[in-house]
């Protein structure tokens, strides 16, 4: 991996990696990251799905109904996503669910079809239409367009040319979706539905909120997320939307979504969303948290903001202030802060260890002598400074694990507790910086002997590190920026607050 790549949360794709490790056995599945996964930086999709369930009475378990949700030409998932990307391109990350898949399948010619849609819409007012047709066809690959009568597309463009904006653009989106839908029509419904990427993970978040898609009614609090119909939904979560989501995740805490709320609260208390690098605060979250009394004051303020926003729409909260404080207690928040410290500190250590093996090249194992790579790395003063800080934090974390009951209780597994004891021994030898990393690689290599398909090995006899495979193949790393995007967007609950 290149120096400076930010990762550290991992999501399991099978039992083997769930019980194993990458280079560091402690770098395990984080509590939030498997839910807030790659491609999910726009929690707006929660609002879209609730609105669809409320207005269309769709059953998410029915593949045929899900197919209509994805490919509907005027209020389906693709229509909504492209419309959001056009309405606010400055913050469109996560609105392209399925676009990469369509590009990979050879249907779309690029991953930004909305750019050409906007351009074509502007040019449709011109009397010269042939060039406009050519520009529109550039959205798709040649093989896709070859299956369609170009004359029919030209007639459709001519028809919508007389419309004014924004209808003209939205009609172009619909034509685009028609072509996409026709391109995959021969595929089984299940395969078509998989094109939408991570939509099932958003559905799992609805389940964490206690939402059953076929039972959403105007009496339900979550119906506030369906005030705008699909296709008409504005981008971004409003403060009321966020209030409903936080309320329902906390009210249904036993379904598994509480870590999302707790992580937001930890970040909110520390103001991490106000910084350019949230992890510089969050990896020290457990040390930075104020007293329990200050945490409780913040919780009460947050609950009242949630309640006020919900009450302003004519609903009452189903979760009392005392229940909210009990569910999201200072103790729970401190535990969540330790999870952040645990995962981010270990993630940063693994990043530094990966610096020694250089960038991974597909199917070409990278090998290099340890000392040679250290000389290269240590010539960079910024890397040296970062390495010293990370190793110091690792030592502090290991000492906390061995001396504080809360840390050892959270980690729990004897194998991982033993690894932290090994780390203490390594870092207490007062070795040089390269000596410390050499010992860490020796430890990783010893542990890799228990893995029949290791990611990397270190041969101390030749002082050589070998990286055998890209770890993302079996255990995809979650981009921390995606989790931070959720935290920042949830912070909008304070927007316009007095």
Per residue in 92-113, pLDDT (tens digit) is: 888 999 999 999 999 999 999 9
CB-based contacts of 261, cutoff 8 Å, min separation 6: 246, 249, 250, 253, 328
CB of 226 closer than 8 Å to CB of 50: yes
Give the pLDDT band of residue 238 (cuts 50, 70, 90): very high
181 within domain boundaries: yes
496 within domain boundaries: no
13 within domain boundaries: no
Give the pLDDT band of residue 125 (cuts 50, 70, 90): confident
478 within domain boundaries: no
Q: How far apart are CA 110 and CA 107, in angstroms?
A: 9
Give the pLDDT band of residue 362 (cuts 50, 70, 90): low
CB of 102 closer than 8 Å to CB of 70: no
User: What is the average pLDDT across 395-415?
Assistant: 89
Q: How far apart are CA 193 and CA 66, in angstroms?
A: 7
Q: What token pair was written down for 30?
A: 């984080």
Enclosing domain of residue 74: 44-194
15 within domain boundaries: no
Q: How far apart are CA 442 and CA 445, in angstroms?
A: 5
Q: How far apart are CA 268 and CA 262, in angstroms?
A: 10
Q: How far apart are CA 97 and CA 266, in angstroms?
A: 29
Give the pLDDT band of residue 15 (cuts 50, 70, 90): very low
For 452-484, give one letter per residue: b (16+ CB within 10 A) or e: eebbbbbeeeeeebbbeeebeebbbbbbbebbb
CB of 383 closer than 8 Å to CB of 2: no
The count of other CB atoms within 10 Å of the CB of residue 100 is 14
Q: Which of 62-76, 281-295, 433-447 has the lowest mean pLDDT?
A: 433-447
pLDDT (0 to 100) of residue 5: 34
75 within domain boundaries: yes
pLDDT (0 to 100) of residue 37: 78
- Cα 43 to the chain's mean position, in Å? 9
366-369 vs 477-478, strand pairing mode? unpaired
87 within domain boundaries: yes
pLDDT, tens only, 468-477: 766 554 444 5
User: What is the average pLDDT across 375-389?
Assistant: 95
156 within domain boundaries: yes
Give the pLDDT band of residue 23 (cuts 50, 70, 90): confident
Q: Give yes or no for residue 232 having a pLDDT over 60.
A: yes
pLDDT (0 to 100) of residue 483: 87
CB of 447 closer than 8 Å to CB of 21: yes
Q: Give yes or no for residue 402 having a pLDDT over 70.
A: yes
Sign of CA dihedral 121, 123, 127, 129: negative
Q: Which of 35-39, 45-49, 120-124, 398-402 has the lowest mean pLDDT?
A: 35-39
CB of 18 closer than 8 Å to CB of 10: no
- Cα 140 to the chain's mean position, in Å? 28
Number of domains the chain contains? 1
């Amino acid at each position: 991996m290149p120096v400076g790549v930010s990762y550290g949360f991992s999501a399991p794709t099978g039992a083997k990696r769930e019980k194993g490790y990458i280079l560091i056995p402690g770098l395990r599945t984080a509590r939030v990251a498997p839910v807030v996964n790659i491609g999910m930086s726009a929690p707006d999709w929660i609002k879209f799905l609730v609105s669809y369930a409320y207005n269309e009475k769709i059953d998410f378990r029915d593949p045929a109904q899900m197919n209509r949700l994805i490919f509907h030409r005027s209020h389906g998932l693709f229509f909504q996503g492209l419309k959001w990307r056009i309405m606010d391109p400055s913050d469109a990350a996560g609105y392209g669910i399925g676009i990469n898949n369509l590009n990979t399948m050879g249907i779309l010619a690029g991953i930004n079809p909305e750019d050409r849609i906007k351009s074509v819409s502007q040019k449709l007012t011109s009397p010269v239409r042939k060039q406009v047709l050519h520009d529109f066809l550039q959205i798709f690959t040649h093989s896709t367009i070859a299956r369609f009568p170009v004359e029919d597309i030209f007639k459709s463009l001519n028809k919508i040319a007389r419309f004014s904006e924004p209808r003209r653009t939205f009609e172009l989106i619909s034509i685009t979706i028609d072509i996409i839908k026709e391109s995959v029509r021969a595929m089984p419904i299940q395969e078509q539905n998989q094109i939408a990427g991570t939509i099932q993970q958003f559905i799992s978040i609805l389940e964490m909120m206690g939402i059953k898609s076929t039972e959403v009614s105007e009496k339900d609090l979550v119906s506030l997320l369906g005030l705008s119909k699909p296709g008409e939904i504005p981008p971004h979560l409003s403060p009321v939307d966020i209030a409903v989501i936080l309320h329902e995740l906390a009210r249904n805490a036993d379904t598994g979504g509480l870590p999302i709320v707790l992580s937001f609260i930890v970040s909110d208390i520390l103001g991490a969303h106000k910084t350019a690098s949230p992890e510089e605060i969050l990896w020290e979250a457990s040390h930075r948290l104020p007293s329990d009394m200050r945490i409780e004051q913040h919780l009460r303020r947050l609950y009242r903001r949630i309640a006020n926003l919900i009450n302003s729409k004519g609903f009452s909260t189903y979760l009392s202030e005392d229940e909210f404080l009990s569910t999201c207690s200072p103790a729970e928040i401190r535990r969540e802060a330790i999870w952040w410290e645990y995962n981010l500190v270990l993630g940063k250590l693994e990043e530094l260890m990966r610096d020694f093996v250089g960038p991974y090249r597909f199917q070409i194992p990278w090998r290099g002598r340890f000392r040679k790579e250290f000389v290269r790395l240590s010539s960079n003063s910024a890397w040296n400074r970062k390495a010293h800080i990370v190793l110091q934090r690792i030592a502090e974390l290991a000492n906390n694990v061995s001396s504080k009951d809360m840390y050892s209780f959270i980690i729990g597994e004897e194998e991982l507790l033993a690894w932290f004891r090994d780390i203490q021994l390594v870092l207490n030898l007062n070795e040089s910086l390269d000596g410390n990393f050499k010992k860490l690689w020796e430890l990783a290599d010893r542990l890799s002997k228990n893995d029949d398909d290791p990611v990397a090995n270190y041969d101390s006899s030749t002082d050589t590190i070998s990286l055998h495979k890209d770890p993302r193949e079996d255990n995809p790393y979650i981009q921390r920026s995606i989790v931070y995007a959720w935290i920042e967007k949830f912070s909008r609950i304070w927007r316009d607050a007095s």
